[in-house]
Amino acid sequence: MKFGVLGKSLPHSYSPRIHKEFADYDYTILERNEEEVKAIFEGKEKLDGFNVTIPYKKLAKELCSELSPEAEEIGAVNTVIALKDGTFKGFNTDVYGFVYMLRHAEIEVKGKHCLILGTGGASAAVKYALGQLGAASINHCSRTGEINYGNVYAVAKASEIIVNTTPVGMYPDVDINPIDLSEFPKLYAAADVIYNPSRTRFLEQAEKLGVRHAGGLIMLVAQAYKACIVFRGGDFSLESTGDKENQLIEKVTQLLEAEMRNITLVGMPGSGKSTIGKRISEALNRNLIDLDDEFFNEYGQKPADIISNKGEAVFREMETDLAKKILPKSGLVISTGGGIVTKKENFFYLRTNSKVIYIKRPLETLKKQNVSNRPLSSSIGVEKLYEQRAKLYEAVSDEIWNLPDYTAGDALISSFIKNLKEK
Q: CA 242, CA 240: separation in Å to the nearest integer?
A: 5
**No. of helices (H) and no. of strands (E), the chain:** 19, 16
Distance CA 207, CA 177 (A): 13
Contacts for 60-69: CB closer than 8 Å, 24+ residues apart:
60/6, 60/90, 61/90, 63/37, 63/38, 63/88, 64/88, 64/89, 64/90, 65/89, 66/90, 67/91, 68/92, 68/236
CA dist 304 and 237 (Å) reads 60
Compute how many other C-beta atoms are within 10 angstroms of the C-beta atom of residue 71.
28
Q: Are 341 and 392 in contact (CB under 8 A)?
A: yes
Contact residues for 373 (Cβ-Cβ < 8 A; gap 6+): 304
Report the C-alpha gap between 251 and 146 in whole angstroms. 41
Backbone dihedral angles phi then psi of residue 245, each to the nearest 5 degrees: -65, -45
Give the active site residue among 57, 61, 89, 112. 57
The SS3 assignment for 145 reads: coil
Catalytic residue status for 329 = no
- Region of 329 on the Ramachandran plot (φ > 0 left; ψ -120 to 50 alpha; else beta): beta
Query: Which 8-state DSSP code applies to residue 81?
Result: E
Catalytic residue annotation? 57
